[in-house]
Amino acid sequence: MSLRTIDSLGPLAGKHVIVRCDLNVPLKDGQITDDGRVRASLPTLNALLSQGARVSVVSHLGRPEGAPDERYSLAPVASRLGELLGKPVAFATDTVGASAQATVSALADGEIAVLENLRFNAGETSKVAEERTAFAAQLAAFGDALVSDGFGVVHRKQASVYELAELLPSAAGLLIAAELEVLDRLTENPERPYAVVLGGSKVSDKLGVIGHLLPRVDSLLIGGGMLFTFLAALGYKVGSSLLEVDQIDTVKGYLAEAERLGVEIVLPTDVVVASKFGADAEVLVRAADAIEDTPFGASGLGLDIGPDTAARFAEVIRTSTTVFWNGPMGVFELAPFAAGTRTVAQALTEVSGLSVVGGGDSAAAVRALDFNDDQFGHISTGGGASLEFLEGKRLPGLEVLGWTA
């Protein structure tokens, strides 16, 4: 694996270094509810500051429509970053305007600033390359070099991720290097037994990774909303549960391919069925082939894997040496449907080899359920980027940094 590192940029004391982080944290009433991505940025930022670099952090947050929107301001993130670094963090109230120019110009050696949300400028995510390049050029005026460390966006061709890396001397930060090292271990000669646990809502989101990993794993465990398309492929009725009818034939193909390869696909044997979507719903556990066998009939919907399934999943996980997990087992945000996800997370903490939580909702789930990051081998900061890597896709934000697999 080849990748330009920070060392390739030479001495950085006194130089203005732009760091593209992924600080896209969840906010509620202006407060950060999970600061995992902020904490993940610290090793790179501390390394640069200790060299005497003048650091300008850029990131996106949420999906503003290419214009300022105070709901998506990075101000709370800058405040939290200062707490974690234990030093002042200046904040620019715009991205490339007068505030950003003044803030960056005022930095001394070893000082740091955060610029406002990149997506307040439409050029960041524009589909037109020339518009992205124009915005990247405005950003480039603030720096002597770019350190790209936002792993969660390396699968996107966006101005701060791709074009900016072409305009300035650029290298990958420590977070990206760490993410790639772990993902490489999942794809190149992983220690066996190797289990992959997939959940989340839609099977269509995971088709690529299923197809790419199927020849590489020993066990594939299926939970979350996507499980119902697998059950439908077996001919089971699934009530009002989430179902992608157009993917049933594809799933049948994967089941046949797994049998041909000798890969065990572990499907739920029981499901938590609810009368409605809500924490106050009436809840029953039913066998996977009897989901409609409740007073709710065809209107019942499955919202979590059942206890027998959770126990089986945990057994497979604990007896595996390498485990990758992406996607909750149920609607973990609601207490009646959190048990499956909790059981899977607990089992991952007991893996003797490498356990990887694949970012996104999975990372949010383990923290919401009061697990600590250090209980797992690795928690990825990029769910979509991790999946696309495991699908074998090209990732433009890495290729521009000289990455070759």
Which residues are known binding-site members for ATP?
Answer: 206, 302, 333, 359-362
Q: Which residues pair with 219 in a beta bridge?
A: 195, 264
Nearest to 197 by CA among 356, 372, 34: 356
Catalytic hit among 143, 360, 382, 383: 360
Instruction: For residue 245, give every residue at least 6 positions away whose Cβ sits within 8 Å of its Cβ, in sequence order, or none.
Output: 232
Q: Please name the residue ranges forming H helices in 188-303.
A: 207-213, 227-233, 248-261
One DSSP character per residue, 110-124 reads T-EEE---GGGSTTT
Catalytic hit among 37, 132, 286, 367: 37
Q: Please name the residue ranges forming H helices in 28-147.
A: 36-40, 42-50, 75-85, 98-105, 129-140
Report how far apart, in Å, the C-alpha atoms of 325 and of each of 33, 194, 313 are: 22, 11, 11
Q: How many CB atoms lie within 10 A of CB 105?
A: 10
Pair type for strands 112-114 and 89-91: parallel
Q: Note whether 85 and 45 are within 8 A (CB).
A: yes
What is the distance between the alpha carbons of residues 200 and 350, in angstroms, rounded to a whole number?
22
What is the distance between the alpha carbons of residues 218 and 306, in angstroms, rounded to a whole number?
23
Instruction: For residue 20, give every residue at least 6 positions away whose Cβ sits within 8 Å of its Cβ, in sequence order, or none.
Output: 58, 59, 146, 147, 148, 149, 150, 153, 160, 161, 164
What is the distance between the alpha carbons of residues 360 and 312, in angstroms, rounded to a whole number?
24
What is the distance between the alpha carbons of residues 376 and 57, in angstroms, rounded to a whole number?
28
Helices and strands, number each (H, E), in the chain: 15, 17
Nearest to 227 by CA among 256, 202, 264, 250: 202
Concerning whether 36 is annotated as a catalytic residue, the answer is: no
Concerning whether 192 is annotated as a catalytic residue, the answer is: no
Report which residue type is found at 69. D
Catalytic hit among 202, 216, 252, 318: 202
- Residue for token digits 């890969």? 263
Binding site membership for substrate: which residues? 22-24, 37, 60-63, 119, 156
What is the distance between the alpha carbons of residues 203 and 27, in angstroms, rounded to a whole number?
28
Binding site membership: which residues? 22-24, 37, 60-63, 119, 156, 206, 302, 333, 359-362
| Residues carrying an active site annotation | 37, 202, 360, 384
